[in-house]
Structure 1
Amino acid sequence: MRKILVVGAGQSGLQLALGLQSHGYEVTLMSNRTADEIRTGRVMSTQCMFHTALQHERDLQLDFWESQAPKIRGLGISVAVPGSHDPGPSQRAIDWLGRLDGFAQSVDQRVKMAGWMETFAQRGGQLVIHGVAVGDLDYFSRAYDLVLIAAGKGELVQMFGRDASRSPYSAPQRALSVAYVHGMAPRPEHPDTEAVRCNLVPGVGEMFIMPTVTTSGRADILFWEGIPGGPLDAFKDVKDPAEHLSLTLELMERFLPWEYARATKVELTDAGGTLAGRYAPTVRRPVGRLPGGGAVLGVADVVVANDPITGQGSNSASKCAASYLASILEHGDRPFDEAWMQQTFDRYWETARHVTKWTNTMLAPPPPHLLELLGAAGRHQRIADRFANCFDDPSDLENFFFDPDRNAAYLKEVAEAAGA
């Protein structure tokens, strides 16, 4: 029986630990917090997982909250007319809803990670509650066949060198602010459709609103992404949760009056329901080398940390865990050397590279052909649906999104088909 250590109990670390456990590996999972501390703590993220990522959880029989979480069947894009204060449709330059082929879902990570940790322990896994320093890893690298680092923050990440060729940004591109709320009304034009709403305010930032399930039941996540130094970059010194929500709503009223109109009766889900921060999107080299000569393998956002503007964080974590699990199972009894670690990451990068390219594109001012595409999606449901489903499979963006010529050819094809 091969012995594997997973450091970090987030989406990727837990999914990978539980997957290895289900295949008979002797797995130790290290977390710096207990399940109860996670469950009663502050929200850790926004998350909306699309069909492929959800299927990875189903395959491991970890979809414990599927019946409780809202089934998200659409993804909408709205672009604000600058300076608008009318909640009506005339103040949206672009406004459409794409339909997802398979539903998406969001589960508060406090709920999911706590539940998965308890499941891992109940299934006989060795759960160790202890923070890990780089100095500890020399010993662990000798005691285990493989050490996986899935803790995306702190000193452990510094072991993995930045890959400058894949990391165009050296500073944060958005200031992030999150509030989990009860009492959000549905969009009046689609009152019966659970959907993620992506609102773009040119030159200012973005707001995402997504249905979720949290410790107190169904809720909505209000998520601002502000261009640094702009009006949405206002949460850094806000410590009081009520003040955080008040500022969130004030900015909605100013920039997104149609979303504010359905948020007038919201309240925070709990005292831990807010979060603010920022980080630079970074791709790192996958192999961390230890002072004693050993090597460890970075997982998910340890090695590919994208800005959440494209909603891919938890999806990428799930896909990374599934890819690494397959690589470990296929490797059998052979040693997990540095060459294998690099190959394992390269296999995941074939998926992750599309997300990184898309995310970095969306952080920059949009070129004219992308604005034309988003506008055309309001006239052609076929385009809206295709773009919505790219949140599940970003690789399709290569076929019509990035390149102006491919974009023009696709829009021409759709228009001709509609006129036929």
Structure 2
Amino acid sequence: MGLLKKKLCIIGSGVAGLHLAYALKDDFDITVIERQSPDQIRKGRIMSTQVHFGSTRTREKRFNMPKWGEQSLLESIHITIGNQKLFVGMLQEPALSVDQRLYYSHSIKDLIEKGVSFRFEKIDKENVEVLIDEFDLLIDCTGKNGPLLPFPIEEALSPYQTPQRKCIVGYFTGIRANTPLGVSVTVLPGLGEMFEIPAITEHGPVTILFIMGIPNTELDVFKGIKNAEEFTLKMRSTVQQFFPEIHNRIDGSNFALCDESSFLQTALTPVIRKPYLMVNNKLVVGCGDSVFLNDPISGQGCNLSSYCAEQLYETLIEYKNSKWDADTGESYWNRTKQYVKEVTEWTNAMTEPLPEHVIQLLLQGAQDQVQANEIAEWFANPTKAFEAFFSATATVHKNNQ
């Protein structure tokens, strides 16, 4: 008789939870706990923005996750500073953005069909201890609302006590797509940023307009807006005032939110935690935003969650037949630490005024397509961004050319 499979509980079915469920389901007995049913998720409010870059899409293939068709692949990153469009950098591998309401609800139904157990209930800090006793391992994937457990804060990577940006997001129809299809990044020094992301929804293709306003500046003007109509009017006037290139592509008669729930305002304080704990002599781990919460400014939330899910999967497979303890947790942390540090330090630098040598790199990108493509790759491979921002040799090398 074979050994009984270890029983794992994943709390939360966002990117981290879903990627883990797909990765682990053949080797372990998996239960996922999610507070909303697939239909509640699908009909609910948008949760965020998302761009799955090449490495994340590779992991989705590796773990046999649902495919989303190839018609809306994002091939490029458009960079604008102020009102000057600098360049379009081409990505080495195309990216994709799928409305998380669709992605999550579809994936949950698919996992249920594949035999993964789901419980639709809310877990809070009070009743989490029962689950720690019930399962061989608890994985906290509660996302930006988490964590459920007191994973220790990594002070060196968590310099902020308050949100650095107000996040204002709407999924709109009636915007002519940019060409080549890609993510547009506009930096308004001293005010904030706008990300324009073509995405797939159950209503068809949309354009996500994502304003990141520095608090209490002229971009932070959505306070008190409660309904879709007011939000649409305010977005339109803000785009007209600050983002003329996007405004020129708006078809006035068709500009609207794709549904009543497709807008969001939020602000989060980035915080990085050590992703494991021992509770009553049992290992508990965290994955994704519950432990590695970055500012959304670098577009890395779902990619970092996916990366860490894969590293946790590799760790658990490596230790599959031994007792899971603090050594296992430390092994997972060691696998993820360097990449988490690079993503976080680059992201935090993006919330500050851009360093002079980075501005020079961006201006070079306007003259040199190879450089433009390298900068586009920062978003797909944040290690490259980290090197460009922080490697002294890179700066000296550029200055000597």
User: What TM-score range do you get, normalising by the shorter chain?
Assistant: over 0.9
Which one is further off, 7-16 or 256-265?
256-265
Match of 1:57 in 2: 60
Name the aligned partner's letter for residue 376 of structure 2: A
Match of 2:397 in 1: 409
Q: Give, in angstroms, the shift of residue 152 of structure 1.
A: 1.7
C-alpha separation in 1, matches of 2:327 and 2:161: 28
Determine whether 1:72 maps to 2:63.
no
2:211 to 214, 224, 232: 224
C-alpha separation in 2, matches of 1:319 and 1:131: 26
Q: Give, in angstroms, the shift of residue 158 of structure 1.
A: 5.5
Match of 2:191 in 1: 204
1:40 to 40, 43, 64: 43
What do residues 6-49 of structure 1 show as CA deviations (whole Å, max 9, x unaligned)? Answer: 0001011011012111x231000000000000000000110011
Instruction: Extract unaligned runs of 5+ from structure 1.
Output: 81-90, 414-420
Match of 1:349 in 2: 337
Q: Please state whether the residue corresponding to 2:379 is helix, strand or coil.
A: coil
What is the aligned length? 395
Match of 2:245 in 1: 258
Q: Give, in angstroms, the shift of residue 67 of structure 1.
A: 3.2
Which runs of structure 2 are paired with 1:355-366 in the superposition (5 Å)? 355-366=343-354
Which runs of structure 2 are paired with 1:74-93 in the superposition (5 Å)? 74-80=76-82, 91-92=83-84
Contact 1:152–1:301 (CA under 8 A) maintained in structure 2: yes
Q: Please state whether the residue corresponding to 1:98 is helix, strand or coil.
A: strand
Give the direction of change, closer, same or farther, for the CA distance of 1:334–1:72 in structure 2 (3 Å limit): same
Give the direction of change, closer, same or farther, for the CA distance of 1:67–1:406 in structure 2 (3 Å limit): closer
Which one is further off, 361-370 or 29-38?
361-370
TM-score (norm: length of structure 2): 0.94
Which one is further off, 239-248 or 147-156?
147-156
Q: Please state whether the residue corresponding to 1:401 is helix, strand or coil.
A: helix
Q: Give, in angstroms, the shift of residue 342 of structure 1.
A: 2.5
Q: Give, in angstroms, the shift of residue 373 of structure 1.
A: 1.0
Q: Please state whether the residue corresponding to 2:210 is helix, strand or coil.
A: strand
1:10 to 5, 14, 17: 14
Contact 1:134–1:155 (CA under 8 A) maintained in structure 2: no
Match of 2:378 in 1: 390
Contact 2:346–2:386 (CA under 8 A) maintained in structure 1: no
Q: Give, in angstroms, the shift of residue 400 of structure 1.
A: 3.2
Give the direction of change, closer, same or farther, for the CA distance of 1:127–1:222 in structure 2 (3 Å limit): same
Q: Give, in angstroms, the shift of residue 289 of structure 1.
A: 5.1
C-alpha separation in 1, matches of 2:379 and 2:344: 13
Q: Give, in angstroms, the shift of residue 397 of structure 1.
A: 2.8
Name the aligned partner's letter for residue 266 of structure 2: G
Task: Determine what percentage of the aligned residue pairs are the same residue.
Answer: 29
TM-score (norm: length of structure 1): 0.90
1:245 to 227, 232, 256: 232
Name the aligned partner's letter for residue 281 of structure 1: P
Q: Please state whether the residue corresponding to 1:210 is helix, strand or coil.
A: strand
Instruction: Extract unaligned runs of 5+ from structure 2.
Output: none
Give the direction of change, closer, same or farther, for the CA distance of 1:350–1:77 in structure 2 (3 Å limit): same
Q: Give, in angstroms, the shift of residue 79 of structure 1.
A: 0.5
Q: Please state whether the residue corresponding to 1:391 is helix, strand or coil.
A: helix
Q: Give, in angstroms, the shift of residue 278 of structure 1.
A: 0.3
Match of 1:98 in 2: 89
Match of 1:114 in 2: 105
What do residues 47-69 of structure 1 show as CA deviations (whole Å, max 9, x unaligned)? Answer: 0111001000011121421335x
CA RMSD of aligned residues (A): 1.7
Q: Please state whether the residue corresponding to 2:260 is helix, strand or coil.
A: coil
Q: Give, in angstroms, the shift of residue 214 of structure 1.
A: 0.7
Q: Please state whether the residue corresponding to 2:168 is helix, strand or coil.
A: strand
Contact 2:16–2:306 (CA under 8 A) maintained in structure 1: yes
Name the aligned partner's letter for residue 12 of structure 2: G
